[in-house]
């Protein structure tokens, strides 16, 4: 037997081993997702009977999902989440893009100081700010309104930073040419720079939307009315006050909350990876 075939056989074995290990770790990672879906289509009796099987004996999905949607204003929560995330993102882009352009391309006194402020904001964990922001919201009488959910996030230091880094890679000649064409600085931001920075903008949008869709800490502090709650807070209230350990509807609600981002993630994997690792990973 030659050395080459034994090496081949070894690499074949290594290849199989790779798939075996990754399928096992992957399965372990997926267990909570699969179990969530499984419980969401099982009847209470079957859930309490405790079985290993993924597929229910009696399909109870319609009842569970109906309960999740009627016993709790789940659609309202998701609508709130969508609106709050959308408004936060729109305001962030509106405020961050011009500032990022000024920091990247314009020379003015105090620019480095402003950039220092952005960097400091980048490091700050938002929970540290929650107490003063709560008092601030109280003084403005906006607690328990949509404004309370949105206002603290209208400007994102990370957004400014990411866009500034991207704008810096755009040659100055582009800016000069736009000025010669008679564009104002404001028009340069929105008609020249932002369209060119689309990849950075998409990465930032994913970072922002995922972060705010999933956030529990600030909504817990800022709102009390069910009608204002974003999905994580709503589902927590549903668990604590309605469902308890009636896991069927609870899992149905969880599935519906996790589903939109999961679908988006599977459709645009590389953008998610880039956005959620803060641009540290570029595909």
Q: Which of residues 172-201 bind another protein (CB under 8 A)?
A: 184-186, 189
Measured CA to CA, the distance from residue 161 to residue 208 in angstroms comes to 13
Segment (H or E) for 138? helix 130-139
As measured in angstroms, the least distance from the Cβ of 66 to another protein is 19
As measured in angstroms, the least distance from the Cβ of 244 to another protein is 11
Nearer to another protein, 39 or 84 (CB): 39
User: Cβ(149)–Cβ(222) under 8 Å?
Assistant: yes
Measured CA to CA, the distance from residue 39 to residue 31 in angstroms comes to 12
| Residue 106 makes contact with another protein by CB under 8 A | yes
Helix (H, G, I), strand (E, B) or coil at 109: coil
Task: Quickly count: other Cβ atoms within 10 Å of residue 167's Cβ.
Answer: 22
Q: What does the block give as tokens for 90?
A: 């729109």
User: Cβ(255)–Cβ(37) under 8 Å?
Assistant: yes
CA nearest to 79, candidates 146, 155, 156, 33: 146
Site for another protein in 233-272 (CB under 8 A): 233, 235-236, 239, 245, 247, 250-251, 253-254, 257-258, 261-262, 265-266, 269, 272
Nearer to another protein, 1 or 125 (CB): 125
Pick the binder of another protein from 13, 57, 135, 198 (CB under 8 A): 135
User: Cβ(221)–Cβ(151) under 8 Å?
Assistant: no
DSSP 2: -
| Residue 282 makes contact with another protein by CB under 8 A | yes
Pick the binder of another protein from 87, 183, 202, 210 (CB under 8 A): 210
| Residue 21 makes contact with another protein by CB under 8 A | yes
| Residue 151 makes contact with another protein by CB under 8 A | yes
Site for another protein in 29-48 (CB under 8 A): 29-33, 35-36, 39, 47-48
As measured in angstroms, the least distance from the Cβ of 145 to another protein is 17
| Residue 75 makes contact with another protein by CB under 8 A | no
CA nearest to 100, candidates 148, 158, 60, 154: 158
Pick the binder of another protein from 1, 4, 128, 180 (CB under 8 A): 128
CA nearest to 259, candidates 65, 43, 24: 65
As measured in angstroms, the least distance from the Cβ of 227 to another protein is 19
| Residue 79 makes contact with another protein by CB under 8 A | no
């Amino acid at each position: 037997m030659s050395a080459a075939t034994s090496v081949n056989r070894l690499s074949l074995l290594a290849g199989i081993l790779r798939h075996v290990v990754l399928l096992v770790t992957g399965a372990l990672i997926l267990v909570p997702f699969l179990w969530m879906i499984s419980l969401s289509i099982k009847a209470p009796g079957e859930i309490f009977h405790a079985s290993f099987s993924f597929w229910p004996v009696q399909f109870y999905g319609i009842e569970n999902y109906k309960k999740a949607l009627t016993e709790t204003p789940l659609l309202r929560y998701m609508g709130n989440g969508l609106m709050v995330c959308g408004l936060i993102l729109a305001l962030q882009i509106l405020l961050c893009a011009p500032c990022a352009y000024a920091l990247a391309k314009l020379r003015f006194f105090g620019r480095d100081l402003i950039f220092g402020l952005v960097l400091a904001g980048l490091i700050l964990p938002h929970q540290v700010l929650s107490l003063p922001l709560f008092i601030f919201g109280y003084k403005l009488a906006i607690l328990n309104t949509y404004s309370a959910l949105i206002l603290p996030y209208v400007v994102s230091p990370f957004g400014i930073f990411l866009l500034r880094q991207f704008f810096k890679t755009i040659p100055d000649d582009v800016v000069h040419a736009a000025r010669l064409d008679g564009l104002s600085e404001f028009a340069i931001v929105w008609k020249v720079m932002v369209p060119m920075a689309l990849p950075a903008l998409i990465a930032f949008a994913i970072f922002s939307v995922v972060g705010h869709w999933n956030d529990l800490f600030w909504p817990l502090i800022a709102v009390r009315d069910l009608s204002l709650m974003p999905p994580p807070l709503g589902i927590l209230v549903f668990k604590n006050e309605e469902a308890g350990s009636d896991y069927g509807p609870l899992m149905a609600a969880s599935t519906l909350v996790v589903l939109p981002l999961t679908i988006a993630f599977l459709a645009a994997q590389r953008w998610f990876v880039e956005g959620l690792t803060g641009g540290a990973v570029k595909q």
